[in-house]
Amino acid sequence: MTVIVGSLCLLALMSILYSTLRTSVPPMPSSGRSRRALLDCLSDTVPEAPAVTLVDLGSGWGSLVIAMARRFPRHRVEGYELSWLPWMVSRLLKAVLRLDNLTLHRGDFLKADLRHARVLVCYLNPTQMARLCERFDASAGWAGTLFSVGFAMPGARAERTVRVNELYNTPIYQYRLGHG
């Protein structure tokens, strides 16, 4: 039994290491204060009706995407995660909480069709933010709002920046992208 548990733990760690090396982003949750501040920013931006789609790019363990689904029950919420263990944990939490408005995708958001989304959120590093910026430069026709926790989009000017009252004074950047 100990060998099985140890093997499963090793497999889980190897999976997280692999996805971290592949994306250069570990599945690291945002702080509780950052999450609450982002939800408040979303509340200021997301209309009550008609329903819109909100997407968490790199949803990790699910703390933010689940909070979004709970805060905005009338809207469709999606999350994208490459690492299978955090994705499975978030799927389990989704099932336990019975969040019918939440869809969790195991895949690369850089390759996903996001044209249906009007609000994107992310907590990535500068390397992934540069890749995301390239993706939007190549995505003619996509229009919406992007919120980024902690890291700015290179070469883009934020429409609004909110500082979170915490140890690191974390910025939350809001960008209007595309035409629409």
What's residue 166's pLDDT? 86
Give the dihedral of Cα atoms 70, 47, 105, 158; nearest 10 deg. Answer: -110
Q: Omega into 50 within 30° of 0, i.e. cis?
A: yes
| Nearest to 55, CA basis, from 33, 25, 76, 26 | 76
The CATH homologous superfamily to which domain 2-177 belongs is Vaccinia Virus protein VP39 (3.40.50.150)
Q: Within 117-174, where are the H helices? A: 126-138
Q: 66 with 72: CB under 8 angstroms? A: no
Residue 22: phi, psi to the nearest 5? Answer: -70, -40
Its pTM stands at 0.84
Taking only the tens place, the pLDDT of each residue in 8-43 is: 556 656 666 665 656 556 656 678 899 999 999 999
Give the model's confidence band at 174: pLDDT under 50 very low, under 70 low, under 90 confident, else very high: very high
Q: Which amino acid makes up residue 76? A: R
Task: Give how far Cα 26 sits from Cα of 18, 22, 31, 139, Å.
Answer: 10, 10, 15, 26
pLDDT > 90 fraction of the chain, expressed in percent and rounded = 61
pLDDT averaged over every residue in the chain: 86
